[in-house]
Amino acid sequence: MSTPLISIPHSRSYSGRARAHLTELNRVAAHPNLGASLEQIRAGIKDRASRPLDTVDPRDLVAYLIQDNQDLWQQLLHNPFCMKMKTSSSDNAAVLKGFRWYMVQDFLYCIRLMTYEADRAGKATSSEDFNTSTERVSSNAEYAKESLTTCTTPVPNGLGIKDFSVLGARPTEALKSYTDFQISTAGVDSWVLALVAMVPCIQSYYQLAVDLKDYSTHRDTIWYNLWAVENAKYEDSTTHQKEFFIQNFDEWKDHYAEATKIFRRACQGEIDLWATALHPEDV
């Protein structure tokens, strides 16, 4: 088996949702019949590293999408809850409660994807479809278990939530809507457009984490050490995702309007998920 395009972070503190997205990107990148080969993408990554940092590749879909949709992108990067995490101390009960609720929703995202793929496997009409769905069930189950462990492990290595509280929690309307969007987009005819739906999650997670790590007022909070520090380690996930789309330019160049629509909906989904932390339930 070849080395995947992106190494999936082993840290339990890295979002299960983000890991599910990276796993799907790796699956497509390694597929022999879908776009640029792994060798092409890796050669592009190597070439990109040798160029000045401010060099913009005219095939960079991610850069175009961010540049052309600054209204939603800036809303995401400056969402109210992350701004609260940035300035709040560890004794801020409201922020702690919101962060715990946000992390529980990340666990539930994996559960919803796992359930969907299990149902899809049961209805598969080809070995390829069956194998793809069962592989997704397996990876989502792994990420769900690790998210559950993060939620239930005692502080400071986890959030110290009782397991029955996490398992008994219900997905918010924002989570259900975002999950349904990701699932429906995964079913579009264009495999490259399906992966656009994952761009805001991967790109914003890194940028938000770096901002919190570098500029938080307090660095002894659970959200700083458990989330910001860990998620700020994985810049490669963003650069490799960009290079994937660069090397698959021919697959998306005639579909920018569709890609924009998907990107904007995904940005809104990420914004809405962070907003759930402003009105958390008890767990």
Which of the four pLDDT bands, split at 50, 70 and 90, describes residue 90?
A: very high
Instruction: Check whether 92 has a pLDDT greater than 80.
Output: yes
Residue 152 has pLDDT above 70, yes or no: yes
pLDDT of residue 1 exceeding 70, the answer is no
In a domain, 1, yes or no: no
Give the integer Cα–Cα distance in Å for 140 and 237: 18
Q: And the tokens for 187?
A: 């079913």
User: How many domains is the chain built from?
Assistant: 1
- Smallest Cα–Cα separation from 2: which of 44, 30, 24, 21? 30
The answer to whether position 262 is within a domain reads yes
Residue 281 domain-assigned (yes or no): no
2 within a domain of the structure (yes/no): no
pLDDT at 104 over 60: yes
Checking 115-124 for CB contacts under 8 A at 24+ apart, the result is 116/179, 116/183
- For 44, the domain range is 16-276
What tokens were used for 115?
């359930």
pLDDT of 56 reads 80
Asked if residue 6 belongs to a domain, the reply is: no
Q: How many CB atoms are closer than 10 A to CB 139?
A: 23
Highest mean pLDDT among 8-12, 140-144, 189-193: 140-144
Residues with Cβ within 8 Å of residue 135, at least 6 apart in sequence? 27
Q: Which residues contact 74 (CB under 8 A, 6 or more apart)?
A: none
Residue 215 to residues 48, 82, 228, Cα–Cα distance (Å): 28, 12, 11
Specify whether the CB–CB gap between 69 and 260 falls below 8 A.
yes
pLDDT of 134 above 90: yes
Average pLDDT over residues 232-238: 93
Cα–Cα distances (Å) from 165 to 15, 113, 140, 161, 170, in that order, read: 19, 20, 20, 7, 10
Could you report the per-residue pLDDT of 202-228, keeping only the tens digit for each? 999 999 999 999 999 999 999 999 999
Q: Average pLDDT in the 95-107 region? A: 97
- Tell me which amino acid residue 65 is: L
Give every CB contact of residue 9 below 8 A, 6+ residues apart in sequence.
19, 230, 233, 234, 237
Q: What is the pLDDT of residue 65?
A: 98
State the CATH number of the domain containing residue 134. 1.20.910.10
Question: Taking the model in full, what pTM does it have?
Answer: 0.95
Spell out the residues 6+ positions from residue 202 whose beta carbon is closer than 8 angstroms to its own: 18, 21, 22, 237, 238, 241
Tell me the mean pLDDT in the region 135-145: 94
* pLDDT reported for residue 235: 93
The number of beta carbons lying within 10 Å of the beta carbon of residue 86 is: 21
Residue 44 CA from chain centroid, whole number: 23
Stretch among 48-62, 102-116, 170-184, 252-266 having the lowest mean pLDDT: 48-62
Neighbours of 171 (CB within 10 A): 18
| CA distances in angstroms from 268 to 71, 104, 181, 183, 200, listed in the order given | 11, 20, 11, 16, 9
Taking 90 as the threshold, does the pLDDT of residue 188 lie above it? no
The mean of the pLDDT values for the chain is 94
DSSP secondary structure letter of residue 189: S
Whether residue 103 is predicted with pLDDT greater than 80 in this model: the reply is yes
